[in-house]
């Protein structure tokens, strides 16, 4: 059976999909967020490779990955205000909870006092 080039091209084009572009993001807490005491952080990783790089992304970028079967994702609350012990404890708990869904996030967040103000 001969392959119809037009039909092949049409089917191939119909099956094409584009992955969202990954733009790494470093949060900069605002004074309002420091008053609130925490920020929300968003992370993604390729779903088929648990050793792949973990990206921190903005909230807007994150929404593009939430329903993607190609990426695992997790968001967490990150305490930025309080005593050193309070911040470390809260952020360690956030990392532990997030690691249940995205194990490598703990490697991305070694500094539990990141962005903190005591």
> Does residue 28 fall inside a structural domain?
yes
Residue 78, SS3 per DSSP: strand
Q: Which pTM does this prediction carry?
A: 0.83
- Beta bridge partners, 74, equal 43
> Does residue 50 fall inside a structural domain?
yes
CA triplet 101, 103, 104: central angle to 5 degrees?
A: 130
Range of the domain at 54: 20-108
* pLDDT tens digits along 12-34: 665 566 667 788 999 999 999 99
> Does residue 54 fall inside a structural domain?
yes
CA 27, 30, 34, 36 dihedral sign is negative
Residue 87: count other Cβ atoms within 10 Å of its Cβ.
Answer: 23
pLDDT for res 6:
73
Total structural domains within the chain: 1
């Amino acid at each position: 059976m001969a392959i119809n080039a037009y039909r092949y091209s049409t089917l191939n084009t119909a099956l094409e999909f584009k992955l969202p572009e990954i733009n790494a993001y470093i949060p900069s807490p605002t004074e309002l967020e420091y008053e609130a005491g925490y920020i929300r952080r968003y992370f993604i990783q390729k779903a088929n490779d648990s050793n792949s790089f973990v990206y921190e992304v903005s909230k807007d970028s994150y929404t593009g990955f939430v329903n993607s079967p190609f990426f695992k994702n997790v968001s967490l609350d990150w305490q930025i205000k309080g005593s050193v012990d309070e911040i470390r404890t809260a952020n360690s708990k956030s990392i532990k909870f997030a690691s249940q869904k995205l194990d490598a996030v703990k490697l991305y967040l070694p500094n539990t006092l990141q962005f903190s103000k005591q």
